[in-house]
Amino acid sequence: MTPQKVMPLALGVILVSLVMTALAGNFYQDFEVLWGGYRTQMLENGNLCTLSLDRASGSGFQSKNQFLFGKIDMQLKLVPGNSAGTVTTYYLSSLGSTHDEIDFEFLGNTTGQPYVLHTNIYAQGQGNREQQFYLWFDPTKDFHTYSILWNPLSIVFSVDGTPIREFKNLESKGIPYPKNQPMWLYSSLWDAEDWATQGGRVKTDWSQAPFVASFRNFNAQACVVVGSGTNSCNSRSSSNAWMYQSLDSSGQAKIKWVQKNYMIYNYCTDYIRFPQGVPRECSLV
C-alpha cells in the first residue's frame, strides 16, 4: 500500500448496525478532505470536486460513511495532456494489515498515449489480483461513470455501465472474500513516477503542473455503518436488489468482449510472476 493511501485512525472494536441507504452526491455532505489541503476543492455547491497535484503534494478525500456492501458510482474526468507519472485513484478500503480493498486506479501517460485502468482486490490483507485495461474512449475529454458492485455474491467493476471484471465469492473453495470489514471510499491524485508510466521509464513533467482530476455524481446504494445494533440489510426488497445481483449471460458476454479487446494484463495468466502456479481462484472461474 502506498503512503498516499492515507487511512484514518484505527477504530476500536464496536458493534455496528447496517442501514440500507441511497446517497446521491453532495461532496460537502458525503466526503471530507483527507490530505493535500487546498488542493482538494469542492465546487458548484458541493456537486463537483477537483483534486490537484503539484511538486509539493497531491491530494485526496474520503467518505464520511463506512460501507459494508454497496453499489457505488462516481463520474471522473482524468488529468488531460501529459499525465505521465500521475495516478488518480477511486477505491474502497478498510484498515490494518488484514484489510480489504477494491481498487480503481488510473495510470497516466504521455500525450496521445492511453491511460491504463488498473484494478485490484485485497481480501484479508492479500492482494496481487491485478487486472489492467485500456479504455475505449478518451477519459480526459468528458466525465465517465466508474462503478463498483460489491455484494455477498461477487464484486463487479463497470465502466459506463459495461462490466469489465468480476471477482466471485469462492469462500466455499477456501478463497478469501471481502465480506466482514466495513470500508471507506477514497479518492486521490498523487505522483508515482517511479512505477506508474511504462514501468517508471517516463517521469512526471512538472512544467505541466498543477495536474487536475475532477469528480462528480457520486451515488451509493449501500449498507452504511451507523452504530450499535443489528444488520438491517438482510431483508429482500426492491430497494436493495443490488444486494443479490449477479451478472447474467449478457453481462458475462460484455466482460469477455472487454477482456478480449482491451485487457493488457491479467494476474491469472502471469506464469513468470507465479512460477509455482497462479492463485487458485484463477482455475475456479
Which residues are annotated as catalytic?
Answer: 101, 105
Residue with cell 448496525: 17
- Give the phi and the psi of residue 2 in degrees, each rounded to 5: -80, 155
Q: What's the per-residue H, E or C state across 11-65?
A: CCCCCCEEEEEEEECCHHHHEEEEECHHHEEEEHHHCEEEEEECCCCCEEEEEEE
Which residue type occupies 131? Q
What is the SS3 assignment for 258?
helix
* Whole-angstrom distance, CA of residue 242 vs CA of residue 71: 7
Q: How many residues does the chain have?
A: 285
* CA pair distance 87, 82, nearest whole angstrom: 12
Q: Give dist(CA 220, CA 147) in Å, integer.
A: 10
Let me know the angle formed at the C-alpha of 261 by 258 and 266, rounded to the nearest 5 degrees: 75
Cα separation, 66 vs 14, whole angstroms = 13
